[in-house]
Structure 1
């Protein structure tokens, strides 16, 4: 039986969507049927045996679409293996050390019994809209801090865990 995985994400400027697409592509390269989709568009996780949920961090919180996804699918998520990731630090800190989940992500993890959380660096580039984004860019703190090698390594390890779950059942 083929393992199907949903990689749902909440993104503000597209950076987290790109991370989710890399995660899904890595899972597919490892022989797992995976698709990435915006959390707000996922209506049914019934066909999936596992879920990876990612959210951008904005003002120290997970985005509303990720939090709503957890509330909307809480019962079904508890019946599946779930991993979560956050993206957002606009500095190299996520590549230098493990950064735990922000409180909103931690609460979500508890509700759905998520297996693991990882934080990846974020991206904020010129042209981003919003007062906070403009302030960050004016302070010259923008840039792309995503580490795609680390993202691929994490997704590959997660794929191995998903395969082990299948073999154990």
Structure 2
């Protein structure tokens, strides 16, 4: 499956702090309709030697599992209209997770889609590995505040078509 380039998606490449993540394995995602298109960024990162994994949803209340993705690799329909790699692809343990979202705040809170998949995944990864969670969104998705709950995991940074901002 091929990614379609978009101007906003291409701008992500300009703002991504490549030096900070040189050589890191990266957990990406295949964008849903309405989300900023991270495919140009994932392609650029893969071309730069990064190992890219896309998430597979294993079940409710379970963390996501990242499986190897390569440009042009086949993706299969998953829950919630997602596309995911085959379960036969190698598992990737990401050092950087690119996180989709509906909204974010200036201090790193995020509003996801309500399933808690990324909260569980990031929490699980952080227990055993050094992982950096970077939300990816349009700059216009920033909001002054969001309702958060005890299980919500904060982002380490946000990447938009206009800027990259680390929160700590």
Of structures 1 and 2, the larger Rg is shown by 1
Provide the TM-score with structure 1 as the length reference: 0.43
Provide the TM-score with structure 2 as the length reference: 0.43
Q: Which has the higher helix share?
A: 1
